[in-house]
Amino acid sequence: MPGNSNSSDRDTRLAKQQEMIEKVVNWLKEEGVSPQDLTHRRKDARYFGRVVTKQGRKTEDGRIEGEEGFHIIFSNTKLDSLTIQELIAMKMEDQQSYASIARTQDGILKQNKFYLDLQLALHQKSVFFSFEGALGN
């Protein structure tokens, strides 16, 4: 039965992935950081963990600034890979400055140039990236 070998292969790969998830989580704990399991937030992930490496501070309006960390993602579909995402957030002042550019003459062009320059710089450093939020629109 050919279908059984495909199922068996996938089961083996799932078991290996689970073993790798456990190794990574245990290694992080040994290094003194505890990943927060947020798998329930990602339907595309078999495991989605959040690691905070530097605690931020709460601002007057309730936001947290200055927090640093990364996400660890083991995909449901790419059973032989692991994704680590570093999160970089612009300070509120920088976000407001970027947004205010749009209100100037040629503002949208200036925003697009900033965005493209940033993309180019990341490509030149061989960084795989995606933008979410205001820049990604």
pLDDT at 63 over 80: no
pTM: 0.64
> What are residue 75's DSSP bridge partners?
45
Rounded mean pLDDT of 14-23? 93
Angle 107-124/92-101 helices, nearest 10 degrees?
Answer: 130
Are 50 and 34 spatial neighbours (Cβ–Cβ below 8 Å)?
no
Q: pLDDT tens across 91-136, in order?
A: 777 777 878 887 888 888 888 888 888 888 888 888 777 776 544 4
Predicted confidence at residue 136, as pLDDT, reads 45
